[in-house]
Amino acid sequence: MMEALIAYGRGHLPISVPDGTCVLAPEPLSGLPEPGTAIAAALAQPIGGLPLPVLARALNGGTVCVVVSDITRPVPYRVILPVLLGCLEANGVPREKIMILIATGMHRPSTVQERHEMFGADLCAQYDIQDHDATDPDCMVELPSRTSVGTAVSVDRRYVEADLKIATGLVEPHFMAGYSGGRKAICPGLVDLATIQRFHGPGFLESPSAATGVLGGNPCHRESSDVAHIVGVDFLLNVTLNLQREIAGVFAGDLDEAFLAAVAHVETCSQAWAAEEADVVITSGGGYPLDTTFYQVVKGMVGALPVVREGGTIVAIAPCDDGIGSETYRDIMFTYADRPDDFLADIKGASTVARDQWELEMQCRCLRKVGKEGLVLCAEGIPLEDAARLTLVPAPVSGDQRIASIQAAVDAVIARHGEGCRVAVIPEGPYVMTGVRSCPRARDG
């Protein structure tokens, strides 16, 4: 037997797997030795567009909106924001003219504790920090143009009316939009509920191009890009991270040019290929903060699809300390427990899109390939009776015997597939782009 370390909460759990197990992890990537210096250099020498100091000096008393991600993304804002905000102030922008707007999309508002964790207590005390609310029409402004597929979009008024619009974030693999970061800070980050619903609706998600690592032909990428271009992004600051959550690359400047440069970097450092499909794939929710709810852990399950064989088994391991997810998502999961076909038929025939239904739709991709019996969840934060209603097979996990109980679940799955079964492990779950080397997935920037 050999040991594999699975991302779990703020650390890793050791799991014993058969010798010869394929561990799908990218090559180690070093963090930047002086990330603050690299950020300052990127602001002054951007990839396309004008340097941020030039944009700041041209404001002449105008306002700035800095868009940031919420707690579900491990963006190192304690490193990024002091440099960014310091650059603005050093070039004549008064602090009271700067707003930090959290792009929540449809996620809940941030808490004081989360803001302190993300930004630091001192920064929180010194700057105006607000949350986007997609359900508040009074906070929205309808854009003058529709997207290329005809969507009428409204965007947060505080962003639209700012004189200098700055988007920040993290570029990493994303199971719907191809990659996170760039344009996604605006859509779905700052748009109205109807736009978010369309963005996550079956009209987009049933496209095979709405997938990890795919931009060409991806309807989610196209819609998001359209919105960002209509409303405008004056300056983009994106980073890439290594698996230790250290900044590995800084990409600033033009919305498209800087984003695509970051995508190219992710392409080189986030791939891991298997030689053949596996009978069993053991994956994670990606560690904290992503694996605090089952809603986010679905991303790890979907990320395992390129390497699991038809009828194989995906074992997802995550703490899920905050449970299943939103109340709406929980209700959807329970209503359609063990009825994925009914769910798909209903959403395709519906005129509206329910909040969070898209995560069950993505889970249905897994169910189509491995079935309910092939989807096993080890999540100590979800009561077993609730997990049993998530259209999968829940494994009992005891907090006192966490490692032993998860190991027992893994052993049972491997034993069920029989001696000599092929096993793969994706320790970092959705942060790794996987596939079988003989038939790599096409990606188009």
Catalytic residue ranges:
107, 174
Say if CB 8 and CB 284 are below 8 A apart: yes
Return the amino acid letter for 351: S
Residues 6+ apart with CB under 8 A from 401: none
Note the Cα 172 to chain centre separation in Å. 7
Q: What is the 3-state secondary structure (H, E, C) of the chain?
A: CEEEEEEECCEEEEEEECCCCEECCCCCCCCCCCHHHHHHHHHHCCECCCCHHHHHHCCCCCCEEEEECCCCCCCCHHHHHHHHHHHHHHCCCCHHHEEEEECCCCCCCCCHHHHHHHHCHHHHHHCEEEECCCCCHHHEEECCCCCCCCCCCEEEHHHHCCCEEEEEEECCEECCCEECCHHHHCCCCCECHHHHHHHCCHHHHCCCCCCCCCCCCCHHHHHHHHHHHHHCCCEEEEEEECCCCCEEEEEEECHHHHHHHHHHHHHHHCEEEECCCEEEEEEECCCCCHHHCHHHHHHHHHHCHHHEEEEEEEEEECCCCCCCCCHHHHHHHHHCCCCHHHHHHHHHHCCCCCCCHHHHHHHHHHHHHHCHHHEEEECCCCCHHHHCCCCCEEECCCCCCHHHHHHHHHHHHHHHHCCCCCEEEECCHHHCEEEECCCCCCCCC
Return the amino acid letter for 311: G
Could you give the count of Cα atoms lying within 13 Å of 19 in the half-sphere of its Cβ? 1
Residue whose tokens read 């799908």: 24
- Two tokens at 167? 């988007």
